[in-house]
Chains A and B, each alone.
Chain A
Amino acid sequence: MIPLEQYGEFETAWCPGCGNHAILKAVKKALSALDLPPHKVLFASGIGQAAKAPHYLRCNAFNGLHGRSLPPAQGIALSNTELTVFAESGDGCSYGEGGNHFLAALRRNVTMTYLVHDNQIYGLTKGQASPTTAQGQKTKFQPDGAPSMPFNPVAVAVTMNAPFVARAFAGDIEHLAEIIVQAARHPGFALVDILQPCVSFNKVNTYAWYRERCQKLEADYDPTDWGAAMRKAQEFGERIPIGVIYKGERVPFESRLNPAVRRPLATSRADMGQLKSILEEYV
């Protein structure tokens, strides 16, 4: 185990009471349990309050553009499989602006872990509905209620047979940390959708609201049963199941790469002999 202090202690730009603080604690606990030294860890993130998380952690970090945490994360993971790669961002970044990248990442199945801080609202831009806001929920910008049906990332991931799909709650740090450990160890793409209150802008999905509804999956729940996982993935209302919803087996993308690809790419140089013989074909 690596001491938690190794991952640093930083002043944050987050509101007091924000779920982000708890998620950061859980991430540090998980990294420590995974025995990952900071230089072997890479966090990619997008834009938003959640996306600042890698700045509050001693690690390698690629804090890119809004909605774009996944493409660089996959580029990094494919270039150097010796890094343990995480992408971390909010629900707007991940499922709104980054929706197409999420769908493609589920198809591609590169080994990495996607941590989504899902507070069902846009925080940094002050309170607009996000892709996971409940239909009809009133916000400052949707005073008549959010008009669209919410996106269900967990169900979509299970549909795509993503190898590891979990839902967690920021209010239970131990449980969340344990799920992150499992996600990081699982080969292929792992999604951890983390329910998290926004104390400033989401007056509906509060700590109390989540605590009332979030229930850990029963001990006898079998996450390898795809049909059961699909049913669990649909449950989001009076009762919200948290835990590992689905665990499957799909060959990770990097295992399908042509074996001629020499990684890590940082140490691979042009083979001029090979190039000369290829150019002979053009004579």
Chain B
Amino acid sequence: MSDTCVSIVIGGEAGQGLVTVGDFLAKALVRAGYEIVVTQDYMSRIRGGHNTYAIRVSHEAIHGPRESIDLLVALNAETVALHRPQLTPRALVLADETIDRLGHPGLSIPFKTLCPKPMFENVAALGVLAQLLCLERSWLEGLIRSEFAKKGDEVLRQNLDVFAAAQGWAAGQNATFSCMAPPVRTEKRLFMNGNEAIAFGALAAGANFCSYYPMTPATSVAATFVAKGTKMGMLIEQAEDEIAAINMALGASYAGARVVVPTSGGGFALMVEGVSLAGMTETPVVVVLAQRPGPATGLPTRTEQGDLNMVLYAGHGDFPRAVFTPGTPEQCFELTYRAVDQTEKWQSPVFVLTDQFLADSYRAVVPFDLDSLPAVSAPGLTCEDPAGYKRYALTPSGVSPRLVPGFGEHLVVLDSDEHTEDGHITEDLAVRVQMVDKRMRKLEGLVADVVPPTFTGDESPSTLLVCWGSAVGAALEAAQDLRAAGKSAAVLHFGQVYPLNPEQFLPILERAGRAVMVEGNHSCQLARLIRQESGYHFKDTVTRYDGLPLTARYILDRL
């Protein structure tokens, strides 16, 4: 597999434009038909520090990141020193001619000669990489054309010249690097990360209100809404704090908007009171929580899967909820779409739990099939008997008829206190019991709607890797490696972790030789939840909580 797979890492200080170089190359590779997994590692600062943009590229399907480096693009000397241990035997170091490659084979690129201005360095780097990877020139020129056409003929010509000069220069060097196998795919794919896919899943489902308070790594969900959602008619407001963000969204939802609130763990901590209000008032809201390591401010720009417990138990009192945990950008789209439908259908808060790795990880994404999406549940605007309308009417499913205020003579009354069927405060304890039972009856419906976990691999594997969220890529690759070594292996991935339907997974767990829970947190939060909900006890676990994403190597080393 490694023969067909190349790991490219671009490293340097924040502010040196490494993301621009990385995005450019990654997008070019996707356009060319390759598969990619991008891992962005950055520090919590605006300039300086050490950041990397890693692209793992292959002509066939790949799922997770890898530690090894075949091509290291060093924008500063520190990058060479820091990443030496990860260089493979065939690795090349590409750096400006002023940077010492510390004896490693590679190319010292005369950026100053190749580029009329430093702003062209990304295109020059692209030219060098294109030569080393034997990428067809037309793929990359096409990308340069579409990126720069809007800036005018002169800018476009300069960029094409720099690209050609850099590629020509690299061709004249005697650097040897194996060419990439030609890509298998020919149909178009999208160049997109997890957070963008979440934003588009929400927009496709008709989400039209977003209130947020910026917090890494959730910010790019809001940024995508700002850039693209407004064109779709979405109303977006940066609230004064997270408390306002969720309460404002609940007001909008009550008034008939479809709402999404993106945040991260620390921001979500402030929203918990609002989640409880959503539970009591049965007001739909989708909270997108992009996890980063905690507690408190933790590691602001790194990754972890440590907030499952918080999302499961956020809010005081009992009320139903659903938690989706997509593993890929495609699932980010699908499950966020579903989250919007589920919150509207069951009138309970729904969470989309992702993490920094997935949020910032670009992939070649199969275009979404917008034409065959199922209809999204919606509240009514009017009713036949406005005088008899009761927002919290007791029903067998627990779901009461939800109407939007202002469209007819009916009145919609919501209360955070326990309330009667018509929404008014009550201290009648019999009504209290009826209302708790009504709300909790919805959990049966949520269980019936649960998205089953995805099983991939040998039917009765000697090793079954169980995971949720973004851990799926590393688990799939680890299972592939196990099979390549002659062992039977499979992966069970939970795209929804609450509620759980044990019938969907217990038989799979029981027929595995060894079931290993793989999670990006210290306490194995999903393993505990599964034990609580089904009685199944995971004896083996692999956990990671150093801020970096799970990889196949990491898992295999600990099996």
Contact = CB atoms under 8 A, between A and B. Distances in A.
A96 to B, nearest CB: 14
Interface of B: 31, 188-192, 196, 200, 203-206, 208-209, 211, 228, 230-235, 237, 239-241, 243-245, 247-258, 273-274, 277, 281, 365, 367-368, 370-371, 379, 381, 386, 404-417, 423-425
Contact of B405 (A47, A60, A73): A60
B425 A63 contact: yes
Interface stretch (A128-136, A225-233, A237-245, A273-281): A273-281
Given A78-B237, A260-B231, 17 more contacts: A39-B406, A52-B425, A62-B251, A71-B251, A79-B209, A80-B405, A82-B406, A100-B240, A104-B239, A257-B235, A263-B235, A267-B381, A270-B206, A271-B232, A275-B203, A275-B232, A275-B370
B414 A61 contact: yes
Interface of A: 13, 37-40, 42, 44, 47, 52, 54-55, 58-65, 68, 70-76, 78-80, 82-83, 100-101, 103-104, 257-258, 260-272, 274-276, 278-279, 282-283
Contact of B254 (A62, A258, A267, A274): A62
B243 A71 contact: yes
Interface of B is mostly: mixed
Contact of A268 (B204, B208, B365): B208
18 contacts: A37-B409, A42-B255, A61-B412, A65-B274, A71-B211, A71-B243, A71-B245, A72-B250, A72-B251, A75-B209, A78-B235, A104-B239, A257-B235, A265-B209, A270-B232, A272-B204, A274-B231, A279-B368
A275 to B, nearest CB: 6
B256 A260 contact: no
A61 B370 contact: no
Contact of A266 (B205, B230, B256, B386): B256
Given A62-B251, A63-B415, A282 B190 contact: yes
Contacts of B237: 78
Contacts of A60: 405-406, 411-413
A78 B241 CA distance: 18
Given A63-B416, A265-B256, A83 B405 contact: yes
Given A61-B414, A103-B240, A272-B204, A265 B254 contact: no
Contacts of B228: 278
B274 A62 contact: no
* A44, A68, A274 pick with most chain B CB within 10 angstroms: A68
Contacts of A59: 411
A261 B368 CA distance: 24
* A59, A78, A104, A270 pick with most chain B CB within 10 angstroms: A270
Contacts of A282: 190-192, 196, 365
A270 B205 contact: yes
Given A39-B406, A55-B415, A76 B254 contact: yes
